[in-house]
Amino acid sequence: MRRAIPAILLTAVGYYLVWQYDPSPDTVTATDETTASPPPAVSTPSPSSGSTKTVQGSVESNEFGDLQVRVTFTDDRITAVQFVKLPRSGPSRQAAPTLVEETLQAQSARIDTVSGATQTSDSYVRSLQAAIDAKGA
């Protein structure tokens, strides 16, 4: 019983240290330019490229560091998302992909061909590509 008290105390101290541990709070600046420009900054590059617009978001902070994005719009569509600032590690790093996420759509638009998994003859007969081929013949 006498030995249990220091053991519990040490365990408590250990838990406290782990709880307080901050893996790496420093931030990486992803690009060489624009480190602390007052956001949001909007710039329209070459007029020849149509209605392309680049917008820089504000610097957002969380416990892992600072995060800032730059988004390129072509007309009303997002065509690029770049990270100006990104924390060195921690969950926000995992949640910082280069791909954009969207919901799955089901449509029947006009198409010339279909890309899908390698078909079997059976499913081909039922598929869209068969209809397109039949129409083109």
Interface contacts to another protein, rule CB under 8 A: 72, 77-81, 97-121, 123-124, 126-130, 132-133, 136-137
Residue 47 or 136 with smaller CB distance to another protein: 136
Least separation in angstroms between CB 93 and another protein: 12
- Amino acid code (one letter) for 24: S
As given in the structure block, the two tokens for residue 10 are 């040490």
Least separation in angstroms between CB 68 and another protein: 17
Residue 14 or 116 with smaller CB distance to another protein: 116
SS3 letters across 33-57: CCCCCCCCEEECCCHHHCCEEEEEC
d(CA 16, CA 18): 6
CB contact at 8 A, 74 and 51: yes
The count of other CB atoms within 10 Å of the CB of residue 69 is 19
Least separation in angstroms between CB 128 and another protein: 6
Residue 20 or 108 with smaller CB distance to another protein: 108
Report DSSP state, residue 63. Answer: T
Residue 38 or 136 with smaller CB distance to another protein: 136
Least separation in angstroms between CB 2 and another protein: 50
